[in-house]
Structure 1
């Protein structure tokens, strides 16, 4: 059964039982991602690591890598 069908079944049951209707699938995805990011920052702070900019710093390091001694420039 797909997520959409399960949601429709849950909505049908909720209306017939008089209980609150469950939220649609994907409604709280952005909130969940933000909470996960905050939790990871909290763990980094507890470990004594920087809490911000680690991803950008790693990407910048990766993009600015110099070719090793065995690499020859092409062209």
Structure 2
């Protein structure tokens, strides 16, 4: 039985009992996704981890194990005194 068939049965049962029909399947899916994301971010803040990092970035940094303050693919430190393409 798929979700639509279950919804039809639940709607019929609600009509027989004089209750409000259930919401359509998929209506609250994005709300559930948002709540799960917010709960994960909240747990990260409570545990002292950054809450807004993408999982791919975090995984890549964990695998590469770059020290803090490094920039670029080589992992070397940023050159001091350069503020743009002109080098001034």
Q: Which has the higher contact order (CA 8 A, sep 6+)?
A: 1
Residue 46 (structure 2) pairs with residue 46 (structure 1): yes
Residue 18 (structure 2) pairs with residue 18 (structure 1): yes
Structure 2: 5+ residue runs without aligned partners? 64-71, 75-88
1:29 corresponds to which residue?
29
1:3 corresponds to which residue?
3
Q: 1:17 to 1:54 in 2, by over 3 A?
A: same
The structure with the largest helix share of the pair is 1
Structure with greater Cα Rg: 2
Query: 1:2-55, CA deviations, whole angstroms, 9 ceiling, x for partnerless residues?
Result: 211110011011112100100111010000000000000011001100010233
Runs in 1 of length 4+ with deviation above 3 angstroms? 58-62
* RMSD (Å) for aligned C-alpha atoms: 2.5
Q: How many residues align?
A: 65
Structure 1: 5+ residue runs without aligned partners? 67-75
